[in-house]
């Protein structure tokens, strides 16, 4: 008879070699491969067009009020430590994030960019985990389809409510960042050229 398998925690992440990309999902250590360039391009576009006005322009003419971070460790529970592609917190909920690792405050917004290796985790495992944990808004960017699915949390039911789906031709004000109109063509990399 075998004993129960030990569930992974943040300590298991710390034991990995420096620079290893890893998360703990439902007590299982997950080590995805590095993202493709189109994945990184979407992250950069969102940092610029969402993080710019809401984080970097705080006090400099933008709507401000947020911290937007790429790939930081977020502990949602002892056996759930994620590293979202992008995560955002309203500053009043996370006033001094600078030396936190992991951040133990649930994000107000998360965006995951799909990769061939992580689509199932992002669409199923993380989608459920983020709702259960109380993340306020969840975006899923698909670099191949050049689409953005957005959801807001129904806090009582802990379920996602559709707040819009957009493609690269869209211009939209998308919660929780509706103070700024996003031009989705500037977030997605250009479509593949015909050969």
**pLDDT tens, 81-91?**
999 999 999 99
For residue 136, pLDDT over 80 is answered with: yes
pLDDT tier at 64, thresholds 50, 70, 90 = very high
What pLDDT does residue 1 have? 47
pTM of the model: 0.93
- Provide CATH code, domain 33-186: 3.90.1570.10
pLDDT tier at 23, thresholds 50, 70, 90 = very high
What pLDDT does residue 19 have? 84
Structure tokens that stand for 57 in this block = 């322009």
* Mean residue pLDDT across the chain: 93
Of 58 and 16, the one with more pLDDT: 16
Question: Which element (helix H / strand E) includes 56?
Answer: none
Question: Which element (helix H / strand E) includes 48?
Answer: none
**DSSP string covering 108-176, please?**
SEEEEE--TTTHHIIIIIHHHHHHHHT-SEEEEEETTTTEEEEEEEETTTTEEEEEEEEETT-EE--TT
* Through-space distance between the first and last CA atoms of the chain, rounded to whole angstroms: 59
SS3 at position 14: helix
What pLDDT does residue 33 have? 84
Average pLDDT over residues 160-167: 97
Percent of the chain past pLDDT 90, that is, above it, reads 81
The percent helix, strand, coil of the chain (3-state, each to 5) is 20, 30, 50
Of 177 and 191, the one with more pLDDT: 177
- The DSSP secondary-structure symbol of 72 reads -
For residue 117, pLDDT over 90 is answered with: no
Structure tokens that stand for 85 in this block = 């592609």
What pLDDT does residue 2 have? 56
């Amino acid at each position: 008879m075998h004993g129960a398998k030990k569930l992974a925690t943040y300590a298991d992440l710390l034991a990995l070699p420096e620079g290893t990309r890893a998360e703990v999902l439902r007590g299982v250590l997950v080590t995805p491969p590095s993202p493709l360039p189109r994945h990184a391009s979407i992250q950069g576009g969102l940092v610029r067009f969402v993080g710019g006005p809401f984080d970097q322009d705080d006090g400099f003419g933008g709507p401000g009020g947020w911290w937007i971070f790429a790939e930081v460790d977020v502990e949602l529970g002892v056996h759930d430590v994620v590293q979202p592609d992008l995560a955002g917190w309203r500053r009043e909920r996370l006033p001094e994030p600078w030396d936190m690792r992991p951040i133990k405050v649930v994000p107000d917004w998360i965006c995951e960019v799909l990769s061939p290796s992580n689509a199932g985790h992002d669409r199923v495992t993380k989608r459920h985990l983020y709702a259960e944990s109380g993340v306020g808004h969840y975006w899923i960017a698909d670099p191949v389809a050049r689409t953005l699915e957005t959801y807001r949390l129904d806090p009582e039911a802990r379920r996602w409510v559709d707040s819009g789906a957009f493609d690269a031709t869209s211009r939209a004000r998308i919660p929780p960042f509706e103070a700024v109109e996003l031009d989705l063509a500037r977030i997605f990399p250009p479509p593949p050229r015909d050969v």
